[in-house]
Amino acid sequence: MVDLKQIVESLIFVSDAPLFLDRICVLLEEYERGEIREALMALTADYRLRGGAIILAEVGGGYQFRTLPEYAEYLKRLTKSRPPKFSQSALETLAIVAYRQPITRAEVEYLRGVDCGGVLKSCLEKRLVRILGKKDVPGRPLIYGTTKEFLELFSLRDLASLPTLKEVQALGERPPDEEQQELPLGMEEEVENGEE
């Protein structure tokens, strides 16, 4: 007897992109959706409890096997492929589109204060941003949003997984142990000479 959990595991293993529950249900029409969902949850728990280097993660709305981030340096040695590098302007533009979508090019440029045509084109070519349609205003400008590839690249389950502004600001704050106290004037020489 073939185990449903093992069938789902094998499908996800051979898939080159995250596999969605709907797609799995189409492939396994002889099973009920609830049974497949239970198998996915059990499989996710199995990999988490196992404590190995591979986990079953929900990425971009689908399921995909991923390695833990702490092994990335070792895996780079095997693949010898460089992770995509983004300029500061590309990261800023992607962040604006991700947090403010749907958004027009003019709105992105207003927020960044510079022309973003080239950066948006590059993000479109890399399939990180897509055209969602046209805004219903004079001139009917294109509106942009992020893609599933964006979610996959940044290991996000969905857009709700993006860090909040408070979390982003906390990254920029220095921990208390890194802050230095300024010495009062005149004390610098005494400290350098070993006097207190």
The CATH number linked to 43 is 1.10.10.10
Angstrom CA distances, 90 to 107, 151, 161, stand at 15, 16, 20
Domain boundary, last residue among 72, 102, 128:
72
pLDDT for 175:
53
Q: Is residue 184 part of a domain?
A: no
Q: Do 94 and 165 lie in a common domain?
A: yes
pLDDT in tens, 37-71: 999 999 999 999 998 999 999 888 899 999 998 98
pLDDT, mean of residues 152-164: 86
Domain boundary, last residue among 37, 72, 107:
72
Q: Do 42 and 99 lie in a common domain?
A: no
Q: Is residue 78 part of a domain?
A: no
Q: Do 66 and 98 lie in a common domain?
A: no
Q: Is residue 185 part of a domain?
A: no
List the single range of 71-80, 84-93, 109-118, 126-135 with lowest mean pLDDT: 71-80
Q: Do 99 and 154 lie in a common domain?
A: yes
Q: Is residue 189 part of a domain?
A: no
**Residue 18, burial from CB neighbour count under 10 angstroms (0-12, 13-18, 19+):** buried
Q: What is the pTM of this model?
A: 0.56
Domain boundary, last residue among 16, 43, 72:
72
Q: Is residue 126 part of a domain?
A: yes
Q: Do 61 and 120 lie in a common domain?
A: no
Q: Do 92 and 165 lie in a common domain?
A: yes
Question: Which of 147, 112, 109 lies closest to 131, judged by CA?
Answer: 147
Q: Is residue 77 part of a domain?
A: no
Three-state secondary structure call for residue 54: strand
- Give the integer Cα–Cα distance in Å for 169 and 167: 5
pLDDT for 165:
73
pLDDT for 83:
63
Q: Is residue 121 part of a domain?
A: yes
pLDDT, mean of residues 10-23: 92
pLDDT for 183:
44
Q: Do 97 and 161 lie in a common domain?
A: yes
List the single range of 18-22, 42-46, 137-141, 164-168 with lowest mean pLDDT: 164-168
**Predicted confidence (pLDDT) at residue 154 exceeds the cutoff of 80:** yes
pLDDT for 82:
64
In the chain, the percentage of residues whose pLDDT exceeds 90 is 51
Q: Do 58 and 130 lie in a common domain?
A: no
pLDDT for 196:
44
- Give the integer Cα–Cα distance in Å for 44 and 192: 58
Q: Do 63 and 119 lie in a common domain?
A: no
Cα-only R_g, the chain: 24
pLDDT in tens, 69-96: 898 888 888 876 666 788 888 999 999 9
List the single range of 12-26, 116-130, 159-173 with lowest mean pLDDT: 159-173
What's the domain range around 50? Answer: 4-72
Number of domains in the chain: 2
Q: Do 56 and 98 lie in a common domain?
A: no
29-35 CB contacts, 8 Å cutoff, 24+ apart: 31/4, 35/4
Q: Do 43 and 109 lie in a common domain?
A: no
Q: Do 95 and 64 lie in a common domain?
A: no
